[in-house]
Amino acid sequence: MELRVLKYFLEVARTQNITAAAERLHLTQPTLSKQLMELESELGVKLLDRGKRKTTLTEDGALLYRRASEIVELAEMTERSFLSRGDELIGDVSIGCGETPGMQLLIDAMKALTDRHPDVKFHLYSGNDEDVTMRLDGGLIDFGLFVGSTALNNFDYLTLPVRDSWGLLMRDDCPLSARPTVRPSDMSSIPLLCSRQALNSNELSGWLGKPFSSLDIVSTHNLVTNAAMMAQAGMGCVLTIAGLVNTAGSRLTFRPLDPPMTADLVFAHKKSRPLSRPAEAFLEAVRQEIARRS
């Protein structure tokens, strides 16, 4: 499989139209069709269903789309990692992260680096720890920011000098909003909106004193923005980290857990995988920001 042909295939999958894809790729339609048929012949499977109005992926095509996206992204990252020459830093730094106010430390390090080297660009990928781990293991990102306990055997990492605090985000007419904190016994009487990461947290399960399956969990999510909208609509209370949702001007309020439940923040990169010069410079900027705050 040639990288060029994989890019052709991805463009057809995105546009769902061979003629439109050919125009965007500056190819003739017959040339593009021939390349795709040769790719199908090489793999021995049908990748595309060619309809009159649009072209869609087969099951095998959907599998190739996922793999080809990763291959092309990794190839482009590799090309960009060789842009720096001499004292000049040029290139990209990619970071996978969950939702946490602790991201501010990394943002301060980004600002410090780009003030000195404006040609360094940052790319952020939001997701839970599982999403970030997969991208980090696959070489699709340079760094990952993890919240709470994470298997770090394959990574080198720095523990940030900040911690996240868990609590409950709720409407101001929820009975629990009249209390200063939320206790484990309070959780049984309310509908909960939980992140999938929270459901997998042994620390939170230990704080609760029983499995999450015993609670009334009405919804799960990866990122908190939509969950906050659901809470404002009265669908339940969100188990989340303090500081993620700005409650000013809304009907929402946040109450911390009692006893307090906190989580470490860990900034990691893959062991034995060389970093690009911009990524090395960013890692040093993070170390300096940690030292400044410690």
**Based on the structure, what is the number of domains in the chain?**
3
The residue segments making up the domain with residue 238 are: 165-261
Q: Which of 242, 264, 278 is nearest to 158 (CA)?
A: 264
Same domain, 219 and 235: yes
Residues 227 and 193 sit within 8 Å (Cβ to Cβ): yes
Among 32, 47, 80, identify where a domain stops: 80
- Amino acid 149: pLDDT: 66
Same domain, 136 and 11: no
- Amino acid 270: pLDDT: 92
Whether 119 is covered by a domain: the verdict is yes
Could you tell me the CATH number of the domain that includes residue 70? Answer: 1.10.10.10
Among 80, 106, 122, identify where a domain stops: 80
Same domain, 114 and 179: no
Among 30, 48, 80, identify where a domain stops: 80
Could you tell me the CATH number of the domain that includes residue 143? Answer: 3.40.190.10
Whether 86 is covered by a domain: the verdict is no
Same domain, 48 and 108: no
Provide the whole-model pTM. 0.75
Same domain, 169 and 158: no
Same domain, 169 and 250: yes
Q: Is 219 exposed, middle or buried (0-12, 13-18, 19+ CB in 10 A)?
A: middle
Question: How far from each other are the two terminal CA atoms of the chain, in whole angstroms?
Answer: 50
How far, in Å, CA of 8 to CA of 18, rounded?
Answer: 10
Helix (H), strand (E) at residue 15: helix 3-15
Same domain, 119 and 184: no
Whether 208 is covered by a domain: the verdict is yes
Task: Please say whether the dihedral angle defined by the alpha carbons of residues 267, 159, 104 and 201, taken in this order, is positive or negative.
Answer: positive
- Amino acid 111: pLDDT: 97
Per-block mean pLDDT, blocks of 10 residues, the chain (294 long): 90 92 92 93 92 90 90 80 71 90 95 95 88 87 86 88 94 94 92 87 86 90 90 94 92 96 93 89 96 90
Residues 132 and 98 sit within 8 Å (Cβ to Cβ): yes
In which residue are the tokens 């990492």 written?
157
- Amino acid 269: pLDDT: 95
Query: Which residues share a beta bridge with 144?
Result: 96, 268
